[in-house]
């Protein structure tokens, strides 16, 4: 597909085996979905040779595409089923949204930096995900009430609080995955499952994300 990267599928397969399955994530559908997404097309051209490495990478505007393992872990906690409606906060490169689409989800994804939203939209359309992923430029702290309620909501930037809008926009049984700030410890993945009379919460991996920022960027920082 990309010159000099004809064997990307091999890299993707090795990535899922060496970085994800080896760390205990054995969900077959998830591993297969991640081998089908051409991760190298979601990173800047000059970083393509590192696209399948075990790390986050810069994608411009001071933002990053998450480490493959983190994408897998968050997706596992979110546990999307075919046909589920998922809201993502923080489109970034669009890679996480593509993985969710590969798993059969219908995805809405909100990004505050117009240039990133535009680029992600383009890549996702080029790769044929256009009918399953809708990218919105806006402030994801408000969720996206226009398409609510969602079966799952995934936040891919560090939040200092769980926004009430996120909880409100979930169906009963819906799942929210968010890296929640833990003071000097960085963040920790929080899973909230909506029950009839409140939320069941559990804490998972420690992690480091770029911060969730208020409002829509004015173009000066992208």
CB of 144 to ligand SAH, least distance (A): 10
Q: With binding defined as CB under 6 A, does residue 16 bind ligand SAH? A: no
> Considering only residues 57, 110, 135, 192, which one is a binding residue for ligand SAH as defined by CB under 6 A?
110
Q: Is 66 designated active site? A: yes
Residue 215 dihedral angles phi and psi, to the nearest 5°: 75, -175
Q: Is 167 exposed, middle or buried (0-12, 13-18, 19+ CB in 10 A)?
A: middle
Task: Please tell me the count of residues contacting ligand SAH according to CB under 6 A.
Answer: 23
Instruction: Establish if 133 lies at the interface with ligand SAH (CB under 6 A).
Output: no
Find the shortest distance in angstroms from Cβ 172 to ligand SAH.
25
User: Interface with ligand SAH by CB under 6 A: which range of 9-17, 24-32, 90-98, 144-152?
Assistant: 90-98
Nearest CA to 48 out of 13, 16, 12 is that of 12
Q: Which helix (H) or strand (E) holds 75?
A: helix 68-78
Cite the DSSP H helix spans in the chain: 8-15, 28-36, 68-78, 95-102, 114-126, 164-168
Catalytic residue among 22, 66, 93, 202, which?
Answer: 66
- Decide: is 205 part of the binding site for ligand SAH (CB under 6 A): no
Q: Which of 93/169 has CB closer to ligand SAH?
A: 93
207 binds ligand SAH (CB under 6 A): no
From the list 2-10, 33-41, 86-94, 169-177, the region that binds ligand SAH by CB under 6 A is: 86-94
How far apart (Å, rounded) are the C-alpha atoms in residues 138 and 217? 9
Strands (E), 32-185: 57-60, 63-65, 85-89, 106-111, 133-137, 150-155, 170-181
Return the structure tokens found at 35.
């081998």
Does position 80 interact with ligand SAH (CB under 6 A)? The reply is no
Return the number of the residue (61 or 198) whose C-beta is nearest ligand SAH.
Answer: 61
List the structure tokens of 57: 């990478």
Among 108, 207, 198, residue whose Cα is nearest residue 154: 108
Among 84, 102, 111, 151, binds ligand SAH (CB under 6 A): 111
Active site residues: 66
Residues forming contacts to ligand SAH in the complex (CB under 6 A) are 63-66, 89-90, 92-93, 95-96, 110-113, 116, 139-141, 156-157, 210, 212-213
């Amino acid at each position: 597909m990309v010159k000099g990267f004809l064997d990307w599928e091999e890299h993707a397969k090795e990535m899922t085996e060496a970085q994800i399955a080896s760390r205990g994530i054995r969900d077959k559908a998830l591993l297969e979905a991640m081998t089908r997404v051409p991760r190298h097309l979601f990173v800047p051209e000059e970083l393509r040779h590192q696209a399948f490495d075990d790390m986050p990478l810069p994608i411009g505007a001071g933002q990053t595409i998450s480490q493959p393992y983190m994408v897998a872990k968050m997706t596992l906690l979110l546990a999307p089923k075919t046909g589920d409606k998922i809201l993502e906060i923080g489109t970034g490169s669009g890679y996480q949204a593509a993985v969710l689409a590969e798993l059969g989800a219908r995805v809405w994804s909100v990004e505050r930096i117009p240039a990133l939203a535009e680029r992600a939209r383009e890549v996702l359309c080029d790769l044929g995900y256009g009918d399953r992923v809708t990218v919105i430029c806006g402030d994801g702290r408000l969720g996206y009430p226009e398409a609510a309620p969602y079966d799952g909501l995934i936040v891919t930037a560090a939040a200092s609080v769980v926004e009430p809008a996120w909880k409100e926009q979930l169906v009963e049984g819906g799942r929210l995955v968010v890296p929640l700030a833990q003071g000097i410890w960085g963040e920790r993945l929080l899973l909230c499952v909506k029950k009839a009379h409140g939320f069941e919460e559990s804490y998972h991996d420690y992690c480091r994300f770029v911060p969730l920022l208020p409002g829509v960027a004015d173009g000066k920082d992208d």
